[in-house]
Structure 1
Amino acid sequence: MVESATEIKKKTNLPAIPWMRDPVDINLSEPCPLDSLPFLDPRLKMALLHNSDIKDMASLFPVQVAVWHETIGPGSFDRDLCINSPTGSGKTLSYVLPIVQMLSTRVTKCLRALVVLPTRDLAVQVKEVFDYLAPAVGLSVGLAVGQSSMADDISMLIKKPELKSSIFYDPEYVRPEPTSAVDILIATPGRLMDHIDNTDGFTLEHLQFLVVDETDRLLRESYQSWLPTVLQSVYSNNRNQFPFADNIILPKFGSLKTIRSFGVDRGFKGKPHPRLVKMVLSATLTKDPSKIAQLNLHHPFLLTTVQKRDEPPKRYYLPEQLKSFKVVCKSKLKPLYLLALLESLKWEKCIVFTSSVESTHRLCTLLNFFDGLQIKFEQYSRSQPQAIRSKTLRAFRAGRIQVLICSDLISRGMDVKGVKIVINYDMPAFTKTYVHRAGRTARAGQVGSCFTLLRNDEVKKFKKLLQKAGNESCPDYCVPSESVESFRLTYNTALERLKESIESGKIQRRQGGKKEKKALEETA
């Protein structure tokens, strides 16, 4: 019997997209000391050595070395890059470093690099990485995430021209146009669209680099069709002037290189600038052809952790130093099991994940109602203003908060140094979610543990979830029953206080609604 194409694909576990079948194995690149990294600008080397995180590790990680070779090294940005490596492997610096190096020789200031991320918190974190490198070579970095007003954004992103005094007397005087005040922009899709649609002087016509970080999420959620809009803004500017752009040949680093022109750089008097280079990254990169096609990639190159022949097929990769445990408990006593677990772990600094914003708020409020706990709990979720979240994260990093209870807002890409414990208070619904949550620990080669609280009826489902991530080993973690019982006395009191708090909140909301309604009636 002749096997169908679908059966062959299932048996061999090959991706549907041909170029994904022959990836570059990131693990073949050894960690590289900064002194040995070829072509690294001395100014960037000094900036890296003055950063405590990089200084401590003394060398670049394999993914950073692999991307460097495909961009600054022999690869020389000939192809668009898709980077699929585990959480905590160093993906952010892998694109920040080559982009800053490439733009360090720019002559005029234009918006040349755009990094798009799904959340404000992650965008702020990425900007911090750019901030300790870009100024070393004279580049400026902007942030557009919606945490400030549009007016503040515009004053930071756009440089208004100075008008000459002869404007009222010279009939031939041409008013100069606003220009970009930044070379690199980190943005969330919504605020990016606001600037594309409404900000005078904001243009992507000079864009050379587009980074789509956490690609699978950004492609899954349309965010006002930001991707087609960005690509159209870049591609359409020069389509009429250069209809045969694919055949343009320009010198680069002393050699001829075929490039595609996507615009005219005003600063270079009509010369076409290099093609738009795209870099897409995720720990759980999609292999869906229809989604990948949206990116319009140019001869794409996949860098990933290549699966060994003797390993069973798997789609996701967990950090090598991660240990997974499950804690089976009764649903009604989950808060007590959580406290008993934290006590058995010596109240070590950890992140606790819940299934929703409401669950995060309720659990944090309940735990803070337990009397006699010498530990501080704080919540972190979308319901809070950005300023509050940033303040909470700083306190957690500094050790002033021991346990951070949060929704999945912090599960993607966020780097919180020193977290050795992650706890899933609610079992994640998908393998992808588990991978990202667990990835908040065991980062950069460090050891970490992930505990998941489960009801009896969730154990089988959780086992299947882990198998998809290639994890066949998840032993039970026994929480002492006497420890659970020791919290029962204060549990009832805490529950009563939680109910009172909820009722009080409902009354306040009703009163607030009545006041608002009355004010509207009086205004009418």
Structure 2
Amino acid sequence: MPFADLGLSPELVQAVKAKGYDTPTPIQAQAIPSVLMMRDLIAIAQTGTGKTASFVLPMIDILAHGRRRAMMPRSLILEPTRELAAQVAENFEAYGKNHDLKMALLIGGVQMGDQVKALNEGVDVLIATPGRLMDLFERGKILLTGCDLLVIDEADRMLDMGFIPDIETICSKLPTTRQTLLFSATMPPPIKKLADKFLTNPKSIEVARPASANVNIAQHKVLVPSARNKRDVLRTLLRSDNVSTAMIFANRKTTVRELNKSLQSHGFSSGEIHGDMDQSSRIATLDQFKDGKINILCCSDVAARGLDVKGVSHVFNFDTPWHPDDYVHRIGRTGRAGATGRAFTLVAPEDLEAIENVEKLTGMKIPVYALETGKAADKPERAPRERKASADKPEREAKPREDKPRREARAPREEAPAREETSRAERAARPEKPRREEREPPSQPGEWNGPIPGFLGISAL
């Protein structure tokens, strides 16, 4: 089924073809007609299935009719992260090039003045993170009473980040007669409760089992003997598995920084993105990655759900994610829009419980990747232990040989007789005492049992 059969305008279909797409993905084929019919929608879709276009495309045609008003956006899209919000904005710019629509991006880390100016001029589409939107709303810089269409994207991620109370507050400020679209990879109870409260008779779409991974992604886990082996194994995979563009995820920001430095020192063209970087630095690094100036991006989970870069051939989980849901979103950076990809997870003994939780969530056993050269990569870690053991053994054997002369030097054996003769001479000079066997037999209880003191002047006989 081509895009033209979904009810989209010819101008929009032309913009889609200019992006290189002819056939909609399953979620696009199911969601777009329902959105154009102005129905509320709940869409359960794994990442990388084209869900962003499933609401961006029909919104463009819906908003083509109507006029803008100052401080009152006509539609609102809520995103959990700045990266994802910027990605959706890029989609609007690309697909809406044949339409006279104005868009504003409301995210943290950016000058507020420019955002306020855009709102004052009037916008058709407002793409925002909950925190910055609430900030401007409390300052009286924005009115939500004219917003007739709301999109809550990555709802389960919103839940993880603690944004549900903000979303409930925002929904309460919007008109009750609005169209609401909710997208999520999973449907935990709090999200189901949110949908029941704020959506009216929604159509439910589920294009894949919740939390399942993209079938276009070949998944592997690589068992490593310890965390110290991970860097060696990672470099081996980067060199041997035909990696063109890769994203590497770690659980901690410090690990991301150290890993990037390590890769650069070994000649790889890599960059890093994590929460400690300011927005301008993150955007600059992402642009380098998209432009091909670097082909490896080390990331924390701040970037796991917000990036859509064409041609990412590999995803590496340097650390198994603490939250199983993050695994699906991480590996979803590859195998997008019908392309194939490969995902490797490095599993040390301390990661075993986490990978088991991932396998329970996704309902599949991730196959172990038999890396021939991976064994060779382990040797540098084992070799020092073997050398240390061989070095320790002579040292333990050499100890007695070194200690023995020292003991003989301090206490030579020939001196012992001299001390013994001196002792005999001293004893001979003393008054002779009766031997033990010549002493009086033990007395009866109460009688004196020792020698007679000389001051008594009496004889023992």
Q: TM-score, normalised by structure 2?
A: 0.77
Q: What is residue 213 of structure 1 aligned with on the other side?
A: 153
Q: What is residue 344 of structure 1 aligned with on the other side?
A: 240
Contact 2:222 2:347 in 1 (8 A): yes
1:20-169 equivalent positions in 2, closer than 5 A? 32-38=1-7, 40-50=8-18, 52=19, 55=20, 57-72=21-36, 76-78=37-39, 80-109=40-69, 110-159=72-121
Q: Alignment partner of 1:364: what SS?
A: helix
Contact 1:322 1:442 in 2 (8 A): yes
Report % sequence identity: 29
Q: What is residue 391 of structure 2 aligned with on the other side?
A: none
Alignment pair present for 1:335 and 2:231: yes
Distance in structure 1 (CA, Å) of the matches to 2:327 and 2:245 = 19
Q: Alignment partner of 1:450: what SS?
A: strand
Contact 2:45 2:208 in 1 (8 A): no
Q: Following TM superposition, by how much is the alpha carbon of 1:123 offset from its aligned partner in structure 2, in angstroms?
A: 0.5
1:281 partner letter: F
Q: What is residue 239 of structure 1 aligned with on the other side?
A: none
Say if 1:224 and 1:322 are closer, same or farther in 2 by CA, change over 3 A: closer
Alignment pair present for 1:445 and 2:445: no
Query: Which residue of 230, 241, 254 maps to 1:358?
Result: 254
Say if 1:430 and 1:229 are closer, same or farther in 2 by CA, change over 3 A: closer
Contact 1:324 1:475 in 2 (8 A): no
Q: What is residue 426 of structure 2 aligned with on the other side?
A: none
1:43 partner letter: E
Where does the alignment leave 5 or more consecutive residues of structure 1 unmatched?
Answer: 1-31, 160-180, 236-261, 263-274, 308-314, 492-524
Distance in structure 1 (CA, Å) of the matches to 2:303 and 2:297 = 10
Q: Alignment partner of 1:69: what SS?
A: helix
Query: Which residue of 181, 184, 192 maps to 1:282?
Result: 184
Q: Which whole-Å deviations, capped at 9, do the CAs of 1:262-281 have from their partners, x for residues lacking one?
A: 4xxxxxxxxxxxx2111111
Say if 1:123 and 1:229 are closer, same or farther in 2 by CA, change over 3 A: same
Q: Which whole-Å deviations, capped at 9, do the CAs of 1:35-82 have from their partners, x for residues lacking one?
A: 3333x22222222233x3xx2x3122121111112122xxx123x211
Q: Alignment partner of 2:272: what SS?
A: strand
Please identify, of 191-200 and 342-351, the stretch whose mean Cα deviation from structure 2 is larger. 342-351
Contact 2:42 2:181 in 1 (8 A): yes
Contact 1:88 1:444 in 2 (8 A): yes
Distance in structure 2 (CA, Å) of the matches to 1:367 and 1:289 = 40
Where does the alignment leave 5 or more consecutive residues of structure 2 unmatched?
Answer: 385-461
Distance in structure 1 (CA, Å) of the matches to 2:278 and 2:269 = 20
Q: Alignment partner of 1:228: what SS?
A: helix
RMSD: 2.4
Q: Following TM superposition, by how much is the alpha carbon of 1:195 offset from its aligned partner in structure 2, in angstroms?
A: 1.3
Say if 1:144 and 1:433 are closer, same or farther in 2 by CA, change over 3 A: same
Q: Alignment partner of 1:355: what SS?
A: coil
Say if 1:464 and 1:441 are closer, same or farther in 2 by CA, change over 3 A: same
Contact 1:377 1:402 in 2 (8 A): yes
Contact 1:340 1:479 in 2 (8 A): no
Say if 1:152 and 1:199 are closer, same or farther in 2 by CA, change over 3 A: farther
Q: Alignment partner of 2:109: what SS?
A: coil
Say if 1:447 and 1:293 are closer, same or farther in 2 by CA, change over 3 A: closer
Q: TM-score, normalised by structure 1?
A: 0.68
Q: Following TM superposition, by how much is the alpha carbon of 1:417 offset from its aligned partner in structure 2, in angstroms?
A: 0.9
Give the number of aligned pairs.
380
Distance in structure 2 (CA, Å) of the matches to 1:340 and 1:358 = 22
Say if 1:113 and 1:296 are closer, same or farther in 2 by CA, change over 3 A: same
Say if 1:115 and 1:479 are closer, same or farther in 2 by CA, change over 3 A: farther
Say if 1:294 and 1:360 are closer, same or farther in 2 by CA, change over 3 A: farther
Alignment pair present for 1:231 and 2:156: no
Say if 1:112 and 1:354 are closer, same or farther in 2 by CA, change over 3 A: same
1:340-489 equivalent positions in 2, closer than 5 A? 340-370=236-266, 373=267, 375-459=268-352, 461-481=354-374, 483-484=376-377
Q: Following TM superposition, by how much is the alpha carbon of 1:89 offset from its aligned partner in structure 2, in angstroms?
A: 0.7
Q: Following TM superposition, by how much is the alpha carbon of 1:354 offset from its aligned partner in structure 2, in angstroms?
A: 0.3
Q: Alignment partner of 1:415: what SS?
A: coil
Distance in structure 2 (CA, Å) of the matches to 1:289 and 1:366 = 40
Q: Following TM superposition, by how much is the alpha carbon of 1:224 offset from its aligned partner in structure 2, in angstroms?
A: 8.8
Say if 1:295 and 1:360 are closer, same or farther in 2 by CA, change over 3 A: farther
Contact 1:205 1:234 in 2 (8 A): yes
Distance in structure 1 (CA, Å) of the matches to 2:165 and 2:16 = 36
Q: Following TM superposition, by how much is the alpha carbon of 1:483 offset from its aligned partner in structure 2, in angstroms?
A: 4.8
Q: Alignment partner of 2:174: what SS?
A: helix
Q: Alignment partner of 1:418: what SS?
A: coil
Distance in structure 2 (CA, Å) of the matches to 1:365 and 1:284 = 35
